[in-house]
Amino acid sequence: MKYIFSLFITLFISTVCFGQQQNNLYPLGQYDELTDSKPFDDVSVWNKMKTSTALSWGSIDVRYKKKDVPAIQQQNRIALKAWKGERVNAQAVLWTKEDLQNATVTMSDLKCGSSVIPASDVTTSFVRFVMTDEYNRGSGSGCGVRENKAEWDSSVVADVLDVNLHLDVKAYTAQPIWVNVWVPATVKAGKYRGTMTVSAENLKPMTLQMEIDVINKVLPPPADWTYHLDLWQNPYSVARYHQVPLWSKEHFDAMLPIMKMLANAGQKVITTTNMHKPWAGQTEDHFDSMITRIKKIDGTWAFDYTVFDKWVEFMLNEVGIKNQINCYTLIPWALTFDYFDQATNRVQFINAKPGSEEYTAYWLPFLQDFSKHLRNKGWFDITTIAMDERPMKAMIEAIKIIRTADPEYKISLAGNYHTEIQDDLYDLCLPYGQRFPADVLAQRRADGKISTVYTCCTEAFPNMFTFSAPVESTWTMLHAVAENYDGYLRWAVNSWTADPLRDSRFRTWAAGDCYSIYPGARSSIRFERIVEGVQDAEKIRILRQEYTQKGQKAKLDRLNKCVERFTLGYSAKNIGTPEGDVKELNRLLNE
Crossing angle of helices 357-377 and 392-405, in 10° steps, is: 50
Instruction: Compute the mean pLDDT over every residue in the chain, rounded to the nearest whole number.
Output: 94
Which H or E element spans position 393? Answer: helix 392-405
- Tell me the average pLDDT across 563-587: 88
- For residue 58, pLDDT beyond 80: yes
State residue 6's pLDDT score.
39
Helix (H) / strand (E) element for 363: namely helix 357-377
- Residue 78's DSSP bridge partners are 210
- Position 574 scores a pLDDT of 65
Which class would CATH give 43-218?
mainly beta
Containing H/E element for 473?
helix 471-482
Distance CA 541, CA 412 (A): 25
Burial label for 148, CB within 10 Å (0-12, 13-18, 19+), is exposed
pLDDT above 60 for 7: no
How large is the average pLDDT for residues 18-34? Answer: 74
When pLDDT is averaged across residues 340-366 and rounded to a whole number, the result is 97
Task: Check: CB of residue 421 under 8 Å from CB of residue 436.
Answer: no
**pLDDT score of 13 more than 80:** no
Kindly report, residue by residue over 274-327, the tens digit of the pLDDT.
999 999 989 999 999 999 999 999 999 999 999 999 999 999 999 999 999 999
Pairwise CA distance, residues 443 & 64, whole Å: 46
Pair 109, 119: CB distance under 8 Å = yes
> Taking the alpha carbons of 271, 272, 273, 274 in that order, is the dihedral positive or negative?
negative
Q: What is the pLDDT of residue 38?
A: 87
Please enumerate in sequence order all residues whose Cβ is within 8 A of that of 91, keeping only pairs 6 or more positions apart, or say none. Answer: 57, 58, 59, 60, 62, 64, 127, 176, 177, 178, 179
Predicted pLDDT of residue 572: 62
What integer is the mean pLDDT of 531-537? Answer: 98
Task: Please indicate, yes or no, whether the overall pTM of this predicted structure exceeds 0.85.
Answer: yes
Q: What is the pLDDT of residues 68-104, one digit of tens each?
A: 999 999 999 999 999 999 999 999 999 999 999 999 9
- Residue 438, pLDDT > 70, answer yes
Q: For residues 33 and 168, is the Cβ–Cβ distance under 8 A? A: no
Low-confidence winner among 8-12, 66-70, 130-134, 351-355 (lowest mean pLDDT): 8-12
pLDDT of residue 570: 79
- Cα 313 from chain centroid (whole Å): 21
Please report, for the chain, the start and end positions of each structural domain, with discontinuous segments joined by +. Answer: 43-218
Query: How far is C-alpha 143 from the chain's CA centre?
Result: 19
- Contact predicate 328/386, CB 8 Å: yes
User: So what's the pLDDT on residue 150?
Assistant: 77
The torsion of the CA quartet 108, 531, 213, 84, rounded to 10 degrees, works out to -90
319 alpha-carbon distance from chain centroid = 15
Using the predicted structure, report yes or no on whether residue 12 has a pLDDT greater than 60: no
Over residues 486-518, the pLDDT tens digits come to 999 999 999 999 999 999 999 999 999 999 999
Residue 345: predicted pLDDT: 97
In the prediction, which pLDDT does 39 show? 87
Per-residue pLDDT band at 404 (split at 50, 70, 90): very high
pLDDT tens digit string along 460-475? 999 999 999 999 999 9
- Is residue 15 scored above 70 in pLDDT? no
pLDDT at 138: 76
Q: How confident is the model at residue 151 (pLDDT cuts 50, 70, 90)?
A: confident
- Would you tell me how many other CB atoms lie within 10 Å of the CB of residue 454? 24
In tens, the pLDDT along 251-268 reads 999 999 999 999 999 999
**Strands 383-388, 100-107: pairing kind:** unpaired
Residue 523 exposure: Cα atoms within 13 Å on the Cβ side: 21
Whether the bond between 329 and the residue before it is cis, its omega within 30 degrees of 0, is: yes
If phi > 0 it is left, if psi is from -120 to 50 it is alpha, else beta; for residue 355 that is left
